[in-house]
A and B are shown apart, each in its own frame.
Chain A
């Protein structure tokens, strides 16, 4: 017996060269998820195009886009928060305050406008409110280290309370040149609302998927240790996502105020759709993470769903249930594919 044998690892099994095969299998699996999702999207679209009269008309489709703008802006914010905070449903990034923040910002704009503020002043106040709410989230999550799920739940309640104080839970109407411009004007067959969506989408796709900042943001969310080891300021990125989401929400609020000619209670209900579309965007991405493009697709998918139901005279109450089912489905797909894939 020699001490040398101590060091030998016994039976070292020469592993066949299966590396590339395993890689290919993992990729194929995520490809199936992606193609399946796109297939489902096309199928739903095709069904409505055939079954619902007028669905595929150009006017109706731009209508869908217009109705989707507010949701899309919020969902972009949510996707950025999830990207930066990590996709873990419990510990990862999430911003539950987006819906309530939307209501608060819309109320802030309406109240400011009715109090005699100029359009620019009212818009500035709105953006400030949205950003402040985002900063509060950032403070709670990054500064105090509260779980995002809980921190933003608390902030959601703060926003909802503040909105009630501002509006006394009533419908407030507002009318200003800015609002009527957004609601009325159009350029190249697209309304101002459409353009808001197009411009933010393009800018965010570029920022999140095409810049250093976006890549580093994703590193922070995907592997905090690795980001730290690469010398990145993790806390700054995290805080930035919540502030950015707040800012996007404020922009959405101005669009919403234009569409509703003021503010009305119940904006918070949009939260379910925001969570759904942001989670759903995951199935359109090879990395199984939210993406701006995927979020946009999901938002339009939900928009088509709502619109199609309306045209088919299906009660809109069904939409909530369908969205709930979709959330479960999407989360299940993701947890299944991360359990068996990767490795």
Chain B
């Protein structure tokens, strides 16, 4: 018993009809880094919210340091030595670093703040844990995401925690910052702190953790040692499905050209872009940041104008100067900023799904609600959108299901050309698979699909052809079946490696 730093046993938590947790266990040994993984909706965030006292479990026990604690509030949990590093920093943006660090336990003379002592101790603490100094006197709101996270971790460490919970800590970090974080986590472990590490990135979990608990549907399906368990096994534990089913491949014979770019150029962004997208084809476009791939897509979206060249849609020359014009030509646009541009978060699934096709559903200026309802029900079933009902707010859906609503919008508008910008960013594995299957389905029915993605595995898995851009030009065309992620990356990075099938 005494070796357990934290033990959650048989936790149950229900919200209405859904069981977010259904007898979940998480037992963390003292002085270890323990991973917690699972798809979105598997119950990770519910566990965190129970741990920080926001939710109360319906059943089950929470033991911290061998001591069973019946009721949990933010104060109680911190007194017992458990601190949570939230994904979004919980720091007031208008505070200075020192103020944010010591809020709630400010150095003071009686009620009067000891400002200088507070600043000095803040600098000492950050220097001790991270070996760096933040800009003197900076406000939290002026710091970068990584710097804010440093403040948050230091804040937790000041309390000498016995258990430290990291919730998706690398989500907003670049690689170098993430490596620095991993170093710190290992050091804390060596100093005897127990760590719970929650992440989407299996690679990180493998490199960092000694044990990993896999959550699925509110239950812990397995606790394994990731250093000896093959990644593929862990993935199938998470999704309960073999890895080969990730990319449901459908062989489709391409038809007539649907979208063609001829000699497209835009000063400072891209030049000489020739590209033909056929009906029934899924064409991938990729490149590093600054390669111009994103800018090409923006022109096709109608957000920016090309200086030279032309765009043909179904064989007809078409300048596409605005998204409205693009939609009128039955282009379906799936932007990268899903929550900002893809869906309207605060209206219902039904309203979102028919947003682009209301014209077809309207009679004498009124919406034919029965037909609309029938169409929406059909779309929800066809796309497998997980929603409490057609009237649910899109905000309440998971990321993957929000993306399906975007696709539903274009399906109902009978789009036949789909342009997607990073369609599976921040979507969990199972929903990704469903979106891949949907795209395959669409292609089979004759839709032409252009995908911009930086997920190489995804490109290779679902596309027929992949165009790689480098410094504003298409430098390589790769047949998806004959290439590897390494070859795509090499071409994008400008190396002369990979299969010798250069685009004409």
Q: Which residues of A are in contact with B by a Cβ distance under 8 Å?
A: 1-15, 19-20, 22-24, 26-27, 206, 210-216, 218-219, 222-223, 225-232, 286-289, 341-343
A218 & B135 in contact (Cβ 8 Å cutoff): no
Chain A minimum-CB-distance residue to B489: A11
Known A10-B455, A229-B74, A342-B93; contact A219-B135, beta-carbon cutoff 8 A: no
Residue among B94, B144, B230 making CB contact with A23, cutoff 8 Å: B144
Chain A minimum-CB-distance residue to B199: A7
Known A14-B175, A226-B92; contact A6-B202, beta-carbon cutoff 8 A: yes
A122–B453 alpha-carbon span in the complex (Å) = 75
Whether a CB of chain A sits under 8 angstroms from the CB of B143 is yes
What is the minimal beta-carbon distance from A300 to any residue of chain B, in angstroms?
24
B203 & A343 in contact (Cβ 8 Å cutoff): no
* Chain B interface category by residue count: 35 or more
Residue among A1, A3, A286 making CB contact with B235, cutoff 8 Å: A3
Residue among A2, A9, A222, A223 making CB contact with B231, cutoff 8 Å: A2
A228–B54 alpha-carbon span in the complex (Å) = 10
Whether a CB of chain A sits under 8 angstroms from the CB of B356 is no
Known A3-B243, A231-B74; contact A14-B144, beta-carbon cutoff 8 A: no
Residue among A214, A216, A343 making CB contact with B104, cutoff 8 Å: A216
B142 & A226 in contact (Cβ 8 Å cutoff): no
Known A1-B460, A219-B103; contact A231-B75, beta-carbon cutoff 8 A: yes
Chain B 124-156 near chain A by CB (<8 Å), digits 1 or 0: 000000000001001101111011000000000
Residues of B within 8 A of A13 (CB): 174, 288-289
Chain A minimum-CB-distance residue to B141: A342
B455 & A223 in contact (Cβ 8 Å cutoff): no
A9–B146 alpha-carbon span in the complex (Å) = 18
What is the minimal beta-carbon distance from B53 to any residue of chain A, in angstroms?
9
B91 & A223 in contact (Cβ 8 Å cutoff): yes
A231 & B78 in contact (Cβ 8 Å cutoff): yes
Residue among A6, A8, A23, A226 making CB contact with B91, cutoff 8 Å: A226
B103 & A27 in contact (Cβ 8 Å cutoff): no
Chain A interface mostly: helix
A213–B95 alpha-carbon span in the complex (Å) = 14
Chain A minimum-CB-distance residue to B429: A6
**Which residues of chain B from 194 to 238 have any CB-CB distance to chain A below 8 Å in the complex?**
201-204, 206, 230-232, 234-235
Q: A341-B142, A342-B141 are in contact. List 19 more A-B contacts (CB 8 A).
A: A1-B457, A3-B231, A3-B235, A4-B206, A6-B231, A6-B457, A10-B453, A10-B456, A11-B288, A15-B174, A19-B147, A23-B135, A23-B144, A24-B135, A216-B104, A228-B74, A232-B104, A287-B95, A342-B93
Residues of B within 8 A of A11 (CB): 288-289, 454, 456, 489, 492
Q: Which residues of B are in contact with A by a Cβ distance under 8 Å?
A: 52, 74-75, 78, 90-95, 99-100, 103-104, 106, 108, 111-113, 115, 135, 138-139, 141-144, 146-147, 174-176, 201-204, 206, 230-232, 234-235, 243, 246, 288-289, 429, 453-457, 460-461, 485, 489, 492
Known A23-B142, A223-B90; contact A212-B106, beta-carbon cutoff 8 A: yes
B142 & A26 in contact (Cβ 8 Å cutoff): yes
B75 & A27 in contact (Cβ 8 Å cutoff): no
B203 & A4 in contact (Cβ 8 Å cutoff): yes
Chain A minimum-CB-distance residue to B422: A10
Residues of A within 8 A of B92 (CB): 218-219, 222-223, 226-227
B174 & A12 in contact (Cβ 8 Å cutoff): yes
Chain A minimum-CB-distance residue to B234: A3
Residues of A within 8 A of B485 (CB): 5
